Amino acid sequence: MSECVIFNKYIFIYIYICLFHFVVNEEKFFIRYNGGEEEYEFTLDLNTEGGLEFYNRLKEKKRIELTFKAATLAIACVEDDNFPSLIKTNPTEKIDIEIGDILASNITFYISVINAKKFANNQKIGHLIQKEGSSIKELKSLVGRFSSSGINLELVLETDENDKPDITKIAEINKKIIIIAIIGLSILIIFIIIKFIV
């Protein structure tokens, strides 16, 4: 009987893990312009000081609006009292950067628009995700059109819980939950029958 209880425990743990997998909110990061008319998704490296600090700020506020200006190597946002530096001291090692890398120094927040070797005094904290219909060069040209005054870009943390409910997605998740529950109960019933026969 104790073996039956142990086996049941494992079945319920399996079902719980499967259900938890469907319930966990997926977090996505976006740069938006003009109320979402143009949108660029990006990733953050939470293993870096700057990436973790930026994530914590987005987690708290959900949306941060920053003014970016076009520069030779990047579009840059000079940090101020409203958006203090993401890192306390600049890293000493030089890094190679690629188009779309998100960088932080102790005074500036950048998005690289070129590839460069041995880039100094910056920490790589994330990267823009290239998608069909959007280009990092377009983002630079957008900022470049407003280069004298800069342009306000909105940085957003979005989770599934912020989205409108998707009926088809809910139906699909419910279907998977029912299938998992049936499989789990079937295994449990078979195990109980085998125990009584033996």
Give dist(CA 136, CA 111) in Å, integer: 9
Looking at residues 188-192, what average pLDDT do you find?
Answer: 81
Q: What is the pLDDT of residue 177?
A: 81
Number of H helices, E strands in the chain: 4, 10
Name the average pLDDT for the chain: 80
Asked if pLDDT for residue 24 goes beyond 70, the answer is no
pLDDT tens for 48-78 read 999 999 999 999 999 999 999 888 788 888 8
Confidence class of residue 181 from pLDDT cuts 50, 70 and 90?
Answer: confident
What is the distance between the alpha carbons of residues 106 and 64, in angstroms, rounded to a whole number?
A: 18
Residue 22 has pLDDT above 50, yes or no: no
Model pLDDT for residues 107-163, shown as the tens digit of each residue: 889 999 888 888 888 999 999 987 766 677 777 777 777 767 788 899 999 986 544
pLDDT of residue 183: 85
**Which contacts qualify for 53-58: CB closer than 8 Å, 24 or more apart?**
53/86, 53/87, 54/86, 54/104, 54/125, 54/126, 55/157, 58/29, 58/155, 58/156, 58/157
How does residue 184 score in pLDDT terms, banded at 50, 70 and 90?
confident
Name the residue with tokens 């941060």: 64
The predicted model scores a pTM of: 0.66
Closest CA to 86 of 66, 116, 112: 66
Q: Would you give the distance in Å from CA 124 to the centre of its chain?
A: 15
Domain 1-198 sits in CATH at 2.40.100.20
pLDDT value, residue 180 = 83
pLDDT of residue 140: 77
